[in-house]
């Protein structure tokens, strides 16, 4: 039961789905999916933080891989039928922990997505995550 929503990101980038791909549909990150379905959340990621989505099959795959870049190679290997989906790799408790982190980062991103909060303008999504991690969040 995936959403067939088309997200216009930039002239060259378009995602057909919010979920699917390596993170599957139904997704292994259900709480994050609930928030990610909201257009306001999508705008924060795609417009405010300029999330890089080119090459991903879903917004959830992009969010997961761009937040946890160590998983990016596995995501693209899955697209080439050279890796299993995440539900077969991650233990359920690990998937729940990641779901909680993704949800927390999305909520923080919405609150911090204002130009005046940042000295040098709103950062890219990877820089935003690096900043949070450097602050121990």
pLDDT tens-digit profile of 102-131? 999 998 888 887 777 788 888 989 988 888
Judge contact between 61 and 18, C-beta under 8 A: no
**Which pLDDT belongs to residue 84?**
93
Q: Is residue 6 scored above 60 in pLDDT?
A: no
Q: What is the pTM of this model?
A: 0.81
User: Where residue 63 falls among pLDDT bands split at 50, 70, 90?
Assistant: very high
User: Where residue 28 falls among pLDDT bands split at 50, 70, 90?
Assistant: very high
Across 40-49, average pLDDT: 89
Domain boundaries, the chain: 26-129
Mean pLDDT taken over the chain:
83
Judge contact between 1 and 25, C-beta under 8 A: yes
Selected residue with higher pLDDT from 58 and 8:
58
């Amino acid at each position: 039961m995936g959403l067939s929503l088309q997200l216009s990101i930039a002239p060259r980038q378009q995602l057909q789905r919010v979920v699917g791909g390596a993170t599957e549909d139904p997704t292994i990150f259900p709480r994050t999916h609930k928030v990610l379905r909201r257009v306001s959340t999508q705008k924060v990621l795609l417009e405010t933080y300029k999330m890089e989505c080119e090459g991903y099959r879903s917004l959830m795959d992009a969010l997961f891989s761009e937040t946890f870049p160590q998983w990016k190679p596995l995501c693209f290997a899955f697209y080439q039928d050279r890796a299993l989906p995440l539900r077969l790799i991650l233990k359920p408790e690990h998937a729940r922990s990641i779901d909680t982190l993704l949800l927390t980062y999305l909520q923080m991103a919405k609150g911090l997505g204002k130009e005046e909060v940042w000295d040098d303008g709103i950062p890219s999504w990877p820089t935003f995550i690096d900043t949070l991690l450097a602050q121990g969040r």
